[in-house]
Structure 1
Amino acid sequence: MASTTFFTQKIPSVSAIFSIYTSLSAFTILFRTVLNELIPTKVRDFIVSRFKEHFSSYFNPNFTFIIEDQCDYVTNQTFRAAETYLPTLLAGITTGSLLVRSSNLKNPSAKPKFGIPVNAKISDEFEGIPLEWTLLSERNESPYQSRPKRYFHLTCKKEFRDKIMSEYFTYIAKASVKILTSRDNLKIHTYDPKDHSWESAIFQHHTTFETLAMEPEIKNTLMRDLDAFSNGKDFFKTVGRAWKRGYLLYGPPGTGKSSLVAAIANHMNYNIYDLQLQSVQDDAMLRQILTTTENRSILLIEDLDCSGADASCRKENKDEGEDGENQAKNNTKNPQVTLSGLLNFVDGLWSSCVEERIIVFTTNHREKLDPALLRPGRMDVHILMDYCKPNVFKKLAALYLDYIEEHDLFEPIEKMFLEVKATPAEVTEQLMVSKDPDVALKGLMEFLESKKMIEESEESEPKEAEE
């Protein structure tokens, strides 16, 4: 009886419980109202987020590195290294999708390349430490970049964070360099001003120094120079110069300037960034474009005398006709890209942003270039791409006529090259008429004789006018 009375006295009535609940509810509503009135929304959200972050990190045993595609003003080299390295780990992909790409226009049946789709997870292991990579993407708010912003998440156990920071990232950087050095396919990039990004395609130009029709002495000197540059990292560091090399290729149209660029790219195994200065709005945009290029690459700026960054672009010769006039009109639309802006990237402070870079300028008229571009130190090597000479002709004949070394027409044709200005492109066009050496060489001889008659008649016209 006593026990029953005790429990009856300890248990509150239903009305008492309801009264307590009502009081607590009223207090909660009052506290929330006061809190909302006194503390701004942003401060409340910050407190809540930090509270959640603290407890989630406390109970979460993992640590995540975030690797964005951009770092300050340039491409994040760690992101680029990961982008190069991770496709070698596709066997460890844990999600049920795979990116399949094929841009080989010359061989549609070639084996496609496999890549990492967004949100895919890839497993890796470094010295027994399990790692997980994830590629993520989100909308880019930058007015200079319309493409989505991409970044990697690298997750590991918290206790391995320091080791990953000090050793793993160095490991993938070195691995990516080896992959790029031995890459099978080169790429040629062009800048898209609408998307503010570089677009690329597989570069399959088959010209090499072996097949390049060029004066042997100039070719050998250039190859030695390129090899010395490639092995010159310590030298450039010792003398305090940016690791770059500049080449100016000048000469008439059709003398093989583009083919020489292809031979350099294949020899060095470098990608090409083909920049049309007419598509660049101003010097600031030019810096932003050039700093997003990669190491071990060729920056190509063709027809520099008509680029808009030089003093003027005068009308070309009769062979170029309307093209020269159209080019001049285009330059008037883009007066903001200045010569000083270009030079600042060639040999100014910004030239050190990318390492192991080759800069190639081409022009049909070196005499039109501003003297500042020709100053020593700007372009290290000037190479004249001249009209066809006997040595170049023999190389072309061997390439296009089944490696022929001797023919009765060789001597008269070689003599004609001393009297007539014919470009390698014109000679090649004649040699491709037939695989039969007799037919091809006879056609070339007739072409040169016709060209000689035209040149002689043009030379005689001014004399007759003077008389």
Structure 2
Amino acid sequence: MVSSFFTKIPSLSAIFSIYTSLSAFTIVFRTILHEILPAKIRHFIVSKFTDYFSSYFNPNFTFIIEEQSDYVTNQTFRAAQVYLPTLLTRISTGSLLVSSSNLKDPMAKPKFGIPVKAKITDDFEGIPLEWTLLSDRDNNPHQKYQKRYFHLTCKKEFREKIMSDYFTYIAKSSVKLLTHRENLNINTYNSKCERWESAIFQHHTTFETLAMEPELKNTLIRDLDAFSSGKDFYKSVGRAWKRGYLLYGPPGTGKSSLVAAIANHMNFNIYDLQIQSVKHDEMLRQILTMTENRSILLMEDLDCSGADARDEDKEDDENQDMKKKKDPKVTLSGLLNFVDGLWSSCVEERIIIFTTNHKEKLDPALLRPGRMDVHILMDYCTPVVFKKLAALYLETEDHNLFEPLEKMFLEVKATPAEITEQLMASKNPDVALKGLIEFLERKKMTKESVDFDIKEAEA
């Protein structure tokens, strides 16, 4: 038996002969690669062999989740951004991002975030997972714009499970977290970095504290609540899930306070876009598609925006055409296309708010239903609004000076901002209300004097 085994072992000369043949084949193969095949084909063949063997022996699979996807923010990346901070105790790397943008309270608890290259572990139905935040700026420090992406690594055998269930799980988790978020953000667009930058939104105005005609306030609240619960309705009628509000009226009538009350009621972040700083329609589309679901897009002082309806049809002059090419700007059609065109469907559950001091200056195309669904006049102070302000600032709901003041409000136009300024002059109701009467009397005399001068001039 033993002798039979040894007789099957090849001789030393046979082994040497095989080695020599393999060596000769290797030399010939290398010669073919280096002398016959071009360098690009050689690198391609080698890379394919390398990829094949590395993937064959590597037990892991990696999902790459980029920040941008198809011209808009990748919602899977956004969901991971919201979900992963709940797992900060599982960071395996020795670093943590700490930040605070609470300007009103320096002692407020800071926010903790995920630094680039940090690794976070997760467990989904017994499947171990590892998240890593990366940036291509690390590979090229001179790159102007940072492009971030997540790597999600799991064992190969769990790939299908992660694709079918895990990504859905983090999407649902992020929606719940956003719905119950404690802090809202107000965002402004940084044109140099080409990205939105945020700060904590701490405007404390709510519908409870908002000085507004009760009937108008209740109508608006009902409209907002119907919009919030109307996803199925908007889908059934084939419309984008959005709502447009136009706030118009003189300066100081509470338009900004109403925006804050809407944001706090809906628990929506605000994107405050200064449209005057947007150079052209393409830039406008890029900016607006980078916003999030469940948000308010605010465009203030629209009558000063520079979006001109006439630039589509008023000029056929060659010089004017050349001027447009050299100095492009946001056109009315570009604005309307995002507010009510095909691009309006890119973001869901969005509220669009335009404000203006001069509604009559706006193009009628902006005002029709579907673009601005609800028009809200923010007018001068009325007796009802005055009583609300007095209750808030003086903590009194009745006073012997209320009756003469209410009569004056029917004769004198004063904004809620002006009334508030007078009420804040003293915490003593007697002093503050007497000062308010004197202010309104001066205002009345000034108006009468101006009206008299106009009549004299006309005569």
TM-score between the two structures when normalised by the length of structure 1? 0.87
Match for 1:133: what amino acid? W
1:31 Cα shift? 5.9
Q: What is residue 360 of structure 2 aligned with on the other side?
A: 367
Match for 1:354: what amino acid? V
Cα pair 2:307 2:332 within 8 Å, conserved: yes
| C-alpha distance in 2 between matches for 1:39 and 1:364 | 73
Match for 1:431: what amino acid? L
Where does 1:148-227 land on structure 2 (aligned, <5 Å)?
Answer: 148-227=146-225
| C-alpha distance in 1 between matches for 2:328 and 2:23 | 73
Q: What is residue 433 of structure 1 aligned with on the other side?
A: 425
Match for 1:117: what amino acid? P
Cα pair 2:309 2:333 within 8 Å, conserved: no
Where does 1:119-138 land on structure 2 (aligned, <5 Å)?
Answer: 119-138=117-136
Match for 1:81: what amino acid? A
1:102 Cα shift? 1.1
Measured at CA, do residues 37 and 457 of structure 1 come closer, stay the same or move farther in structure 2, by a change above 3 Å?
farther
Q: What is residue 139 of structure 1 aligned with on the other side?
A: 137
Give the percent of matched residue pairs that are identical in Structure 1 and Structure 2: 78
2:405 corresponds to which of 410, 413, 417: 413
Cα pair 2:339 2:371 within 8 Å, conserved: yes
2:435 corresponds to which of 438, 443, 466: 443
Q: Secondary structure of the residue that 1:80 maps to in structure 2? A: helix
1:410 Cα shift? 0.7
1:130 Cα shift? 0.9
Q: CA RMSD in A?
A: 2.4
| C-alpha distance in 2 between matches for 1:186 and 1:268 | 10
1:392 corresponds to which of 376, 385, 391: 385
1:463 Cα shift? 1.2
1:48 Cα shift? 1.9
1:404 corresponds to which of 396, 408, 415: 396
Q: What is residue 257 of structure 2 aligned with on the other side?
A: 259
Q: What is residue 320 of structure 1 aligned with on the other side?
A: none
Q: Secondary structure of the residue that 1:253 maps to in structure 2? A: coil
| C-alpha distance in 2 between matches for 1:416 and 1:335 | 50
Match for 2:392: what amino acid? L
Cα pair 1:310 1:369 within 8 Å, conserved: no
Q: What is residue 346 of structure 2 aligned with on the other side?
A: 353
TM-score between the two structures when normalised by the length of structure 2? 0.89
Runs of 5+ consecutive residues of structure 1 not aligned to the other structure: 1-8, 313-332
Q: Secondary structure of the residue that 1:201 maps to in structure 2? A: strand
Where does 1:63-78 land on structure 2 (aligned, <5 Å)?
Answer: 63-78=61-76
Q: What is residue 336 of structure 1 aligned with on the other side?
A: 329
1:47 Cα shift? 2.1
1:423 corresponds to which of 411, 415, 425: 415
| C-alpha distance in 2 between matches for 1:249 and 1:365 | 10
Q: Is residue 466 of structure 1 aligned with residue 444 of structure 2? A: no
1:384 Cα shift? 0.2
2:369 corresponds to which of 376, 381, 399: 376
Cα pair 1:291 1:354 within 8 Å, conserved: yes
Q: What is residue 268 of structure 1 aligned with on the other side?
A: 266
| C-alpha distance in 2 between matches for 1:204 and 1:186 | 8
String of CA shifts for 1:195-223, please: whole Å, max 9, x gaps.
11101100000000011011111100000
String of CA shifts for 1:289-343, please: whole Å, max 9, x gaps.
111100000000000000011448xxxxxxxxxxxxxxxxxxxx96521000000
Q: What is residue 325 of structure 1 aligned with on the other side?
A: none
| C-alpha distance in 1 between matches for 2:29 and 2:404 | 105
Runs of 5+ consecutive residues of structure 2 not aligned to the other structure: 1-10, 311-325
Measured at CA, do residues 117 and 364 of structure 1 come closer, stay the same or move farther in structure 2, by a change above 3 Å?
same
Cα pair 2:412 2:444 within 8 Å, conserved: yes
Number of residues paired by the alignment? 429
Measured at CA, do residues 417 and 173 of structure 1 come closer, stay the same or move farther in structure 2, by a change above 3 Å?
same
